[in-house]
A and B are shown apart, each in its own frame.
Chain A
Amino acid sequence: MSKNSNSPFPNKSQELLLQAALLKGEPMKKAWNEWKLAVDFEKDIAYASFRMLPLLYNNLHTQGVKDALMPRLKGMYRKSWSNNHLLFHKTAKVLKLLHSNEIPTIVMKGIALTIEVYKNYSVRPMADMDILVPLAQSGKTIDILKNEGWILQNEQYLEFNLKYGRSATFHDSEKTELDLHWHPIFEAHDNISKDDFWDSSVSLEVAGEKTRAFCLTDNFFHTIVHGLRYNPEPPIRWVADAFTILNSEDCIIDWNRLLRHTKKFRVSLQMKDALNYLIENFQAQVSRNFLEELDKIKSTFSDRLVFHHAKKYGDDNPKTVYEKLYSVYAAYLRQSKHTGLWVQHIGFVRYMHFRTKEKPYFRILIYYSSLLFKKTKKTKIKPD
């Protein structure tokens, strides 16, 4: 089963590509041949699929596939290898800088998965580095990075982000992107205690610099939660990451830990949807007991709303006033504790107050009313 394009799930051709890039033997060959028929390699490769091509090359090459496209696929593999090594080298410098200032770090996402899971520098192209630091040291870290020449993006939102967000983005003079995280996930980070994710982290070396990464179970959790959001460019890479984690030779998922995280960070709906997809399309081996426990979790209003928003709008730019307001509301609920409806909505007023830079409440009301008014006026004007 493949889902339609308005979802975080791959469409039919993306699914074929993922199967060709991940499966072995006949299922791989079948998917590879069908994918070639389904897409025009010269015209149809969108960014989400493009990023899967080094992994595809590696899977085809290791299984002895010969094809006229192989040299160009190998070229993508070489390019990804070069790009990633340059990024890792730069990441090591940032880590060294932070460590010299006694700031502990965890590398997240692509860098961690490359070393810990894929064990191959080419197969997972990436465009940025993701570094997690303790919440209490986020302000100090930002100052250190700025002093080193990293330019903070959207600085006007920093205060708001430090209170309600999870990360800030920096660029250097070569346009390399650094995502500095103080919370590993956005979901229910009101529920995070300072040791969550750090307690089971494992040591790791990035281009010679020692740091830490999530344990495999936490990486699996993070991959699902981060990936299962709609994006105009479908983030299909979560499927490859999750599949590869589950199939790593040295991977033993701690299902109890995964269940604790799923409950604590209110993502049972995301987890259920993702695992069903992986089981149905990639024959993922998932603990039956875990699935039964997952089914027992009762979702709250906030869980359902956040999940609905993630699947339908996710990281897309809101196009209408309704979408904008819905996105603001969902973003608030997403980072909240998801429980206690009244308490949450009092919190929402505070959130909006802070978001609008502490303008008086009546001005917030006027601002959002004016948005609705503008929209109404616009829709009344008909084109010639």
Chain B
Amino acid sequence: MELFETLKVNVPNVVHETIDGETILLDLKSGNYFSLDGAGAVIWEFIDKTGNWGEVINIMTTANQKQKNNISNAIENFVKKLVEEQLLVKTDVGVKSVETPDLTKQLVDAAGDFKIPLVNKYSDMQDLLLLDPIHDVDEKGWPESKDNQPES
């Protein structure tokens, strides 16, 4: 899959919100629900603000030279997955020049203790919405049911 230089959130089909270090996303067209946590949530926010996913690799590999290749590949795979799921799409508008000191610091921190960012996908929203969020869920809370695990 070709990755474009600048990407943007696929609005209005995709809505998203970051709560307490976790980004939740909903594709209104397909009804698929996604969750990104740890470095994934920060990377998402950075791309949402700037469109510049290449800069994510620059910041994180500069911060952790030892794992340069590992980080670079993991981020590329992560972004590819987001594009594949049509959560991010190509944009002709160039990189947005936005000051993001907090996000940059969070990317640097995430690079120091690097964990591969994952896209957790939950594809049957009708079933998910029927889950009782007190009794049918595991200790992480909805949408993690006691029985099922997300597709990654």
Q: Tell me the A residues contacting B by CB distance below 8 Å.
A: 41-42, 45, 50, 61, 71-79, 81-83, 85-86, 89, 121-122, 207-208
Residues of B within 8 A of A72 (CB): 133-134, 137, 139, 141-142
Quick one: given A82-B125, A207-B12, are A75 and B135 in contact (CB under 8 Å)? no
CB distance from A171 to the nearest CB of B (A): 16
B31 lies within 8 A of chain A by Cβ: yes
| In the bound complex, CA of A75 to CA of B133 (Å) | 7
| In the bound complex, CA of A122 to CA of B26 (Å) | 13
Contact A78 B20 (CB under 8 A): no
Q: Of residues 119 to 152 in B, which have CB atoms within 8 Å of A's CB atoms?
A: 125, 128-129, 131, 133-135, 137, 139-144
Contact B139 A82 (CB under 8 A): no
A71 contact from B12, B15, B24, B140, Cβ within 8 A: B140
Contact A79 B129 (CB under 8 A): yes
Contact A74 B20 (CB under 8 A): yes
Contact A78 B24 (CB under 8 A): yes
A74 contact from B128, B135, B141, Cβ within 8 A: B141
Contact B28 A82 (CB under 8 A): no
CB distance from B70 to the nearest CB of A (A): 30
Quick one: given A85-B26, A86-B28, are A75 and B143 in contact (CB under 8 Å)? yes
Query: What 5 pairs between A and B have smallest CB-CB spacing?
Result: A75-B141, A75-B142, A71-B141, A72-B141, A79-B142
How many inter-chain residue pairs (CB < 8 Å) link A and B?
67
B17 contact from A41, A74, A121, A208, Cβ within 8 A: A121
Quick one: given A73-B141, A78-B143, A85-B15, are A41 and B134 in contact (CB under 8 Å)? yes
Question: Of residues A41, A78, A122, which shows the largest number of chain B Cβ atoms within 10 Å of its Cβ?
Answer: A78
Contact B26 A71 (CB under 8 A): no
Residues of B within 8 A of A76 (CB): 133-134, 141-142
B53 lies within 8 A of chain A by Cβ: no
Quick one: given A82-B33, A86-B26, A89-B28, are A45 and B134 in contact (CB under 8 Å)? yes
B19 lies within 8 A of chain A by Cβ: yes
Residues of A within 8 A of B129 (CB): 79, 82-83
Contact A42 B20 (CB under 8 A): no
| In the bound complex, CA of A102 to CA of B133 (Å) | 41
Beyond contacts A61-B19, A79-B142: 6 other A-B pairs, Cβ-Cβ < 8 A, are: A74-B141, A76-B142, A81-B17, A86-B31, A207-B12, A207-B28
B26 contact from A42, A74, A82, Cβ within 8 A: A82
Contact A79 B143 (CB under 8 A): yes
| In the bound complex, CA of A76 to CA of B134 (Å) | 8
Interface SS majority for chain B:
loop
Residues of B within 8 A of A208 (CB): 12
A78 contact from B134, B139, B142, Cβ within 8 A: B142
Residues of B within 8 A of A77 (CB): 19
Residues of A within 8 A of B140 (CB): 71, 75
6 sample A-B contacts, Cβ–Cβ < 8 Å, listed by A number? A45-B134, A61-B20, A74-B20, A76-B141, A79-B143, A207-B28
| In the bound complex, CA of A210 to CA of B33 (Å) | 26
B144 contact from A42, A45, A75, A86, Cβ within 8 A: A75
| In the bound complex, CA of A365 to CA of B51 (Å) | 73
| In the bound complex, CA of A79 to CA of B17 (Å) | 13
Contact B125 A71 (CB under 8 A): no
| In the bound complex, CA of A76 to CA of B129 (Å) | 10
Residues of A within 8 A of B19 (CB): 61, 74, 77-78
CB distance from B14 to the nearest CB of A (A): 10
| In the bound complex, CA of A372 to CA of B140 (Å) | 56
CB distance from B149 to the nearest CB of A (A): 15
Residues of B within 8 A of A50 (CB): 134
Question: Of residues A50, A76, A86, which shows the largest number of chain B Cβ atoms within 10 Å of its Cβ?
Answer: A86
Q: Give per-residue flags for B1-31: 1 if the beta carbon is below 8 A from chain A beta carbons, else 0.
A: 0000000000010010101100010101001
| In the bound complex, CA of A165 to CA of B137 (Å) | 42
User: Which residue of chain B has its CB nearest to the CB of A73?
Assistant: B141
| In the bound complex, CA of A211 to CA of B23 (Å) | 29
Contact A79 B133 (CB under 8 A): yes
| In the bound complex, CA of A76 to CA of B142 (Å) | 6
Residues of A within 8 A of B15 (CB): 85, 121
| In the bound complex, CA of A71 to CA of B139 (Å) | 7
| In the bound complex, CA of A41 to CA of B132 (Å) | 13
Residues of A within 8 A of B17 (CB): 81, 121-122
Residues of B within 8 A of A78 (CB): 19, 24, 141-143
CB distance from B10 to the nearest CB of A (A): 14
Residues of A within 8 A of B134 (CB): 41-42, 45, 50, 72, 76
Residues of B within 8 A of A86 (CB): 26, 28, 31, 125
Contact A85 B28 (CB under 8 A): yes
Residues of A within 8 A of B142 (CB): 72, 75-76, 78-79
User: Which residue of chain B has its CB nearest to the CB of A75?
Assistant: B141
Residues of B within 8 A of A122 (CB): 17
Contact B135 A42 (CB under 8 A): yes
| In the bound complex, CA of A89 to CA of B128 (Å) | 18
